[in-house]
Amino acid sequence: MENCREPLKSIVIFAINTGMRLSEILNLTWDDVDLERGFITVRNTKNGEIRYLPMNTTLRDLLRQLKKDCRKSNIYVFGNLQGSNYRRYTISHWFKEVVRTAGIQNFHFHDLRHTFASYLVMAGVDIMTVKELLGHKTLDMTLRYSHLSPSFQRQAIELLDKRMDTFWTPEANSSKQSKSVIGKNHSKYTDFSSDCRGGSVVEHPLGKGVVVGSIPIPG
């Protein structure tokens, strides 16, 4: 951030605290910023659907300062001296130069959006909320961040506890199986004990002979 000059510095801070795409940031107007209630309305989205983003303290303070410094005739939050918004290429080029100067490799402006999502997930925010904040059309797009969650996989495993109550317990399983074999399926078994000594051969429901008791001794 030390290498960032305005307006790039403010745009970077804004991106990290909203997860908005660069095009969404540059097209944002003051009419879509509600400083009193602390909400931003994002209209120019990639999927064409409007979404609403709450402001944290850092973001609200930043916007208040930008509002104070901007010209009244400028409708854009990040407008230039001519009253229009900055071009995407211009900001991307400035950002690229700052990253290069800092010695950082393979990091682009869009990665700030990934940074926003990653921080939320690592802080324990549920994946559905992250999806809504990012404006993803499907959950699959957001699940790429799920491995960062300290509780996401744990919650998945804990779901087994609820299933175990009705599916499996070490003590009850053997009795359930015994009742199933002796009761429900008993009529499907045919005794062939006359064909062996020291054991019984029964016909399995699937049609295969199974020796029960001991190894059969040929007659």
81's CB contacts (< 8 A; 6+ apart) are none
Same domain, 26 and 134: yes
Q: Are residues 181 and 138 in the same domain?
A: no
Q: What's the average model confidence in pLDDT over 27-38?
A: 97
Average pLDDT (50-61) is 96
Please, are residues 139 and 131 in contact by the beta-carbon 8 Å criterion?
yes
Catalytic residue among 93, 113, 144, 176: 113
Range of the domain at 148: 8-152
* Catalytic, out of 137, 145, 188, 208: 145
Domain assignment of residue 163, yes or no: no
* 46 catalytic residue (yes or no): yes
Residues 138 and 184 in one domain: no
In a domain, 166, yes or no: no
Domain containing residue 68: CATH number: 1.10.443.10
Which position has the higher pLDDT, 67 or 192?
Answer: 67
Within a domain: residue 218?
Answer: no
Question: How much is the pLDDT for 92?
Answer: 96
Report pLDDT for 83.
Answer: 87
The catalytic residue among 46, 100, 154, 197 is: 46
Choice among 64, 67, 108, 110 that is catalytic: 110
Question: Catalytic annotation on 21?
Answer: yes
Task: Report the distance separating Cα 54 and Cα 210, nearest Å.
Answer: 67
Q: Please indicate, yes or no, whether residues 145 and 189 belong to a single structural domain of this protein.
A: no
Catalytic annotation present for 108: no
Write out the DSSP string of 5-66: -TTHHHHHHHHHHH---HHHHHT-BGGGEETTTTEEEE-S-SSS--EEEE--HHHHHHHHHH
What is the per-residue pLDDT for 46?
87
pLDDT digits (tens, 9 = 90+) for 125-135: 888 999 999 99
Same domain, 202 and 144: no
Whether 119 and 208 map to the same domain: the answer is: no
Q: Do 114 and 193 reside in the same domain of the chain? A: no
Of 40-54, 118-132, 189-203, the range with the lowest mean pLDDT is 189-203
pLDDT at 93 > cutoff 90: yes
Name the average pLDDT for the chain: 79
Same domain, 139 and 182: no
Burial of 78 (0-12, 13-18, 19+ CB in 10 A): buried
Is 76 one of the catalytic residues? Answer: no
Between strands 39-42 and 200-203, the pairing is: unpaired
> In DSSP terms, which residues pair with 76 in a beta bridge?
29
62 pLDDT band, cuts 50/70/90, is very high
Look up 43 and say whether it is catalytic. no
Q: Would residue 136 show up in a list of annotated catalytic residues for this protein?
A: yes
User: Whole-structure pTM over 0.85, yes or no?
Assistant: no
pLDDT at residue number 196: 42
Answer whether residue 148 shows pLDDT above 90. no
